[in-house]
Amino acid sequence: MSLKKRTLSSKVENVEEFDQLSILDLPELTLECILEKLPPSGLCSMAGVCSSFREKCISNHLWEKHMKQKWGRVVGNAAYRGWNLHLDSIKDSENDNTVKSNGLSRLITLVRSFSWIKSRLEGDNSYKHSTLPDDSIMGWYLALESGKFWFPAQVYNRENGHVGFMLSCYDAEVSYDSLTDTFQARYPPHGRRAVAVEKSVPWERLRAPPMETSPHELHVSECLNELKPGDHIEIQWRRNKEFPYGWWYGVVGHLESCDGNTQFCHCHNSDTVVLEFNQYTFGSRWRIATVNRKDHREEGNEADGFYGGIRKLKSNDEISTWKLLWPTDVLE
């Protein structure tokens, strides 16, 4: 055989060998780097290619970043507990009906509406019957994305910024609408008032509950001894005993006997703490409240409402969020 023929034959063999290579033949580290750069939709698509990709693309470490980036600010411990209770209820229901199912088939009922994953699920029958662990972050992410899972969160300026709720934050159950990239919120009933529903709540008006206190329980104030003029706070307030607490933004002010000169101010030594709600006009009955530093419990009456526990804001992000929500007009 001539040198020219041997060279041509070698090229043909190399082409044939190259045609038989797949992305799975890449070094593990290289493949991992590629998968880490994929968005959630890309991971879902790749998971439908074959069983090898399925195993890689549903792994928790690939989804942790996506979970934190999209949901970290609005999803807290209470939401995660709700998700686990939801999974447990599905298990109990399956056991009662003697239906054998697995994590992924349960997830499919939540995410079937996703156009970018639906085609994969319908086109690959083996994918429908594969296993997705109950603790899968992918399952948790897609359940939130689907909007069919309602989770506890807190909503700033509830009910479309109704004047009666300006600079407050109330507990609600929310679900995501991927079409509008907003949320729907359900506020619990209280007194004679039925469940209130608010649609199109933007991301910036949501937060994960910063503490575990129920909206019907008095928060234990652990910051009272350190409060001083200028500190930013949130305080529980409710209209009457039948209502849940909301968290209201305010600042610690000076006593009436103090001229505000920081060099001579002794307000921090007083048992009385002055709270100012500067969104209200001077003279408004909502403008100022006082609490006892050493013996603070729920204080108030049916006319002015009831003030509960206090939490001091130490995060600049939290303070900035409140300032961004400041009303354009002074409230009465």
Question: Over the stretch 18-76, which tens digit does the pLDDT of each residue have?
Answer: 456 677 778 888 888 889 999 999 998 888 888 888 888 999 999 999 999 999 999 99
From the list 320, 328, 286, the residue with the least C-alpha distance to 303 is 286
Question: Over the stretch 114-156, which tens digit does the pLDDT of each residue have?
Answer: 444 444 434 444 434 345 676 789 989 999 999 989 999 999 9
Question: 237 with 245: CB under 8 angstroms?
Answer: yes
Q: Based on C-alpha coordinates, what's the Rg of the chain?
A: 28
* Rounded distance between C-alpha atoms, residue 330 and residue 281, angstroms: 6
pLDDT, position 164? 86
Could you tell me which residue, 4 or 294, shows the higher pLDDT?
Answer: 294
pLDDT, position 196? 87
pLDDT, position 111? 44
Which string of DSSP letters, residue by residue, matches 72-102?
A: TTT--HHHHHHHHHHHHHHHHHHHHTT----
pLDDT, position 174? 97
* Rounded distance between C-alpha atoms, residue 320 and residue 87, angstroms: 36
Per the structure block, which two tokens stand in for 257?
Answer: 């006997």
Percent of residues, the chain, with pLDDT higher than 70: 81
Residue-averaged pLDDT of the chain: 83
Could you tell me which residue, 235 or 259, shows the higher pLDDT?
Answer: 235
- On the question of pLDDT at 93 being above 60, the answer is yes
pTM recorded for the entire structure: 0.81
pLDDT, position 146? 92
| Continuous H helices in the chain | 3-19, 28-36, 40-47, 51-57, 60-71, 77-96, 103-111, 115-123, 125-128, 137-146, 158-161, 316-324
* Rounded distance between C-alpha atoms, residue 143 and residue 69, angstroms: 16
Question: Over the stretch 184-223, which tens digit does the pLDDT of each residue have?
Answer: 999 988 767 778 899 999 999 999 999 989 999 999 999 9
pLDDT, position 154? 97
pLDDT, position 155? 97
